[in-house]
Amino acid sequence: MSTSVNVAVIYYSATGTLATMARALADDAETAGATVRLRRVAELAPRTAIEQNPAWVANIEATAGIAEATPDDVRWADAVIFGSPTRFGNVAAQLKQFLDTLGGLWQEGALADKVYSGFTASATPHGGQETTLVALYNSVHHFGGIIVAPGYTDASKFVDGNPYGTSHIAGQGDLPVNEQTLTAARVQAERVVKFTRAIKTGLAG
């Protein structure tokens, strides 16, 4: 009987691109045999700012049924796939704030030896996608986690061109998640589940 794998997909999305990607990654991880929790992090922006952008309001309404992430979701997981849009080439404040709440688990050593991976989106090509993922992985190094990035391990990765994680160019919200991005998500999710299972089985042995 194969080793069970728990995957948490924890993301921040303002106008919906990351939410769509997160759902795809969660579905793909489940198809690959994992038990999955899809979670969104808390919104920090003031309502006045949100209401100036109809897409932002629509996304909040559309994802209201997705549970808000807690540190327990990370404790439960064997693998965590974090998602953040780029913010000046860095992780969005909303996801960073969630990472900062994990200090108690870090002190316990409860973040170590888990698999971590990341995904992102930006408005423009080269709009900070790689630096956002590398910045995210800085936290993983402090956790003592194991980064499982897609690399150039599948022919599709030579098309989307991002070995650090799934990424999407969203424009001003007018470039919806496409088959290229969905393929990248599937490759990443399958790889995360595969190596999480192998690591968990090896540690148990």
Share of the chain above pLDDT 70, in %: 100
Residue 50: which CATH number? 3.40.50.360
Instruction: Determine how many CB atoms are found less than 10 A away from the CB of residue 159.
Output: 10
Q: Are 195 and 153 in contact (CB under 8 A)?
A: no
58 located within any domain? yes
47 located within any domain? yes
Q: Is the pLDDT of residue 166 over 70?
A: yes
pLDDT band at 173 (very low <50, low <70, confident <90, very high): confident
- For the stretch 54-77, pLDDT in tens is 999 999 999 999 999 999 999 999
CA distance 107 to 64: 32
Share of the chain above pLDDT 90, in %: 96
* pTM confidence score: 0.98
38 located within any domain? yes
Residue 53: domain span = 6-204
1 located within any domain? no
State the average pLDDT over residues 24-30.
98
Q: What is residue 94's predicted lDDT score, i.e. its pLDDT?
A: 98
| One-character DSSP codes across 93-109 | HHHHHHHHTTHHHHHHT
Burial of 126 (0-12, 13-18, 19+ CB in 10 A): exposed
Q: Is the pLDDT of residue 48 over 90?
A: yes
Instruction: Determine how many CB atoms are found less than 10 A away from the CB of residue 51.
Output: 10
Give the count of domains, the chain: 1
97 located within any domain? yes
pLDDT band at 37 (very low <50, low <70, confident <90, very high): very high
- For the stretch 98-125, pLDDT in tens is 999 999 999 999 999 999 999 999 999 9
